[in-house]
Amino acid sequence: ENFGIHINEEGFLGYGMVVEGIMDRVEKNMSLDHLARLMVDIYVDSSKVLDNLLSPHQRLMLNTTYANNAEMRIKYSCIVADRIHPLLPAAEYLDKEAKENELKQVIGDTYAAHDLSDTERVIIGRNGLLLVT
């Protein structure tokens, strides 16, 4: 797996990765369970990479901000997918049951879902969003 990190002069950090397969699933039928596990690995790996780039002063500021738990800070995830199965009206993903619970694994507590077109959806959570294009 490869991922990129962008750091601008104002302090914005952006991480990016294209996922073409997870475990035995290549390009199709990737489960949210597997994606959630992959995302945990990405969070840990990206924090390790960034930690190597920080000055002692920057590390102190992060630890002060996050109560000496900077490695576990929440990262907001923007997941872009070319399809979702089953394709339902957006509101049906917020069912307070199995569909919503699966989504919570990757975007946190969900609070909005919108139909953008016949095949496009956006589902917004506390820790991320899922955009199906």
Pair 116, 122: CB distance under 8 Å? yes
Measured on CA atoms in the order 45, 14, 51, 47, is the torsion positive or negative? negative
Chain segment 79-105, per-residue pLDDT in tens: 999 989 899 999 999 999 999 999 999
pTM of the model: 0.83
Give the separation between CA 77 and CA 60, rounded to whole angstroms: 25
pLDDT at 47 over 70: yes
Q: Which two tokens stand for residue 70?
A: 């900077």
Closest-CA residue to 19 (of 50, 42, 47, 49):
42
Which pLDDT score is estimated for 1?
A: 63
